[in-house]
Amino acid sequence: MSFKVVESLSEQIATHLASKIIRGEIKPGERIQELRIAGELDVSRGSVREALLILERRHLVDIIPRRGAVVTEITRSHVENLYEVYGELLELLAVKVTENWSGADLDPLIKKFEVMRAAKIGGEHLERIFELGFEIMEQAYSIAKNVYLMEVLINFKPVVQRTYYLALKSKGGDFQDNVAFFEGIMESVVTRNKEKSAQLVRSYVDTQKLEVLKTLDD
């Protein structure tokens, strides 16, 4: 028997609020009022409270005593600290996938990469290209075989998306070519070149970090 995981109400609320924070519809430093959100979404205040705890774990809000949930600020220090840790996590993911894959494990990743390549050729917005990149990464979790790494990266995804979206709105197409990066990663994984996989990820993350920091400086 197989069980289908159904997203809880609190997770759905968290996803809804995260989307608004990522896109800047709820601003940094803005307080999220439980009662107002509960009324807007026609849900219980307890469900909203649970959703805010999820967003706190995902680094999108700070829960402050006697003030409640406040959207986290995006500062240079915040970005530098985020990408320092995120880079290490992605390097580990790339190395574990390079080490562990067998048989047809890579087929779903390769198919998703072809979708990414077609999206670029078709002129789709860079935001869609980035989302496909996250989808490739998520498909790699089962190959890496590390549930703790998977859990941390899942919690990191929204805050990283938030920094990408900030820079995309400001810069448009200045980001490093995602298609070229994933093409290189696929090659290094297939040939089991762990050092190359780690090097490509480090260079990619460093480039993304610099683009986000340039946005904050403007």
The CATH homologous superfamily of the domain defined by 76-217: GntR ligand-binding domain-like (1.20.120.530)
Cα distances from 5 to residues 2, 8, 11, 47, in angstroms, run: 10, 9, 12, 18
Give the number of other Cβ atoms within 10 Å of residue 21's Cβ: 24
User: What contacts 97, CB < 8 A, 6 or more positions away?
Assistant: 140, 143, 144, 189, 197
Distance CA 108, CA 55 (A): 29
Tokens 């703790």 correspond to what residue? 148
pLDDT at site 176: 52
| 10-residue averages of pLDDT along the chain (218 residues) | 63 95 93 94 94 94 91 94 96 97 95 92 83 92 95 92 83 64 94 96 91 84
Ranges for all domains in the chain classified under CATH 1.20.120.530: 76-217
Question: For residue 85, which phi and psi values (nearest 5 degrees)?
Answer: -75, -45
Beta strand 68-71 with 31-32 is: antiparallel
Helices and strands, counts by H and E, the chain: 9, 3
Segments in the chain forming alpha helices (H):
9-22, 34-41, 45-57, 76-100, 107-121, 126-144, 147-171, 178-190, 194-217
Distance CA 142, CA 97 (A): 9
Contact, 161 vs 134, CB < 8 A?
Answer: yes
- Supply the pTM of this predicted model: 0.86
Give the number of other Cβ atoms within 10 Å of residue 61's Cβ: 26
Q: Which CATH architecture has domain 9-71?
A: Orthogonal Bundle (1.10)
Distance CA 86, CA 125 (A): 24
Ranges for all domains in the chain classified under CATH 1.10.10.10: 9-71
pLDDT at site 124: 80
